[in-house]
Amino acid sequence: MRDKLKEETVVNLDSYRERELPKITPFGGGSRGGGMAEDLEQRVKKLEEDVTEIRVNIATLTTRSENFATKSDISDLRTTMQKELRNQTFAFCTILLAAVAAVTGIISYLK
């Protein structure tokens, strides 16, 4: 799932990089007649579209971040795992000791 999110992020960033911003010609010196005011309107319109996309992306990231593990979650998990590992090790040692005792008893009985 994280790989998919990375791909989406990379695709979104690439789409931003591929966009070409209109050139600003100072004081109406362009051949279109509108000059700087026309270019400025296009740039503002583009910025408004980008801000809308940014808001959506931030909302998505905020929603995803609610599922992130906190330090206390990780600490609790670590404590639980340590207890389980200790219990399993104790059980394994107990079984191993019982098996050694049984084999020792059988060998001494057969002699």
Q: What pLDDT band is residue 102 in, cutting at 50, 70 and 90?
A: very high
**Domain limits for position 64:** 1-68
Within 8 A by CB and 6+ apart from 32, the residues are: 38
Instruction: Return the amino acid letter for 16.
Output: Y
The domain total for the chain is 2
Same domain, 3 and 26: yes
- The answer, as to whether pTM is greater than 0.75, is no
* Rounded CA separation 99/103 (Å): 6
- Residue-wise pLDDT tens digits, 48-93: 999 999 999 999 999 999 889 999 999 999 999 999 999 999 999 9
Same domain, 54 and 87: no
Give the count of beta carbons closer than 10 Å to the beta carbon of residue 25: 15
Same domain, 77 and 106: yes
Same domain, 14 and 54: yes
Same domain, 62 and 103: no
Same domain, 3 and 47: yes
